[in-house]
Structure 1
Amino acid sequence: MNVPEYLLLFSGSGEFSVEVKFKGDGFVPPRSATVQEITSLVNSETGGFHTAMTFDEHLFEVYKYEMDPIKKKLIIRAREYDHL
């Protein structure tokens, strides 16, 4: 299973701001990203979006991506993986 790590996906520089909103407890600092880095949200094996991601090596389910191309903002909504 190809599961990306949030802190490794985005360089911290770029024109987009990236925030994560957890359902329940959890916080990771916002990052900046380039458009090219945002394309890494697509799983190269399946061609679909990643539905799982690790945050500080803790596995979460990604249930929604929200993108505002005018404000250059990406919000990743994640919750604890309850079906492991």
Structure 2
Amino acid sequence: MTACIVGWSHGKFGKLDGETSESLVVKAATEAIAHAGIEPRDVDVIYVGNMNGGFVRQEFHSSLALQAHPDLRFKPSTRVENACAT
């Protein structure tokens, strides 16, 4: 098996009034799949990079990306946090 990243996305920088952690993750997941030119069913695993997740009022779970499309529902999801490197 060969692992590769075929699509990516990131949220906007700055203060985003009206956005939640959930809405940002769903947007990024949807955009990454579109960027890759694949279907959600073709995704094998999801990795979410997040910085300062502990400083938001909402709890943040890496599985939020699974809400972007029903075909992502049972995909493994991992959250990675590493300050600015995320």
Same fold (TM over 0.5): no
Smaller-chain TM-score bracket: under 0.3
- For normalisation by structure 1, the TM-score amounts to 0.28
| Larger strand proportion of the pair | 1
- For normalisation by structure 2, the TM-score amounts to 0.27
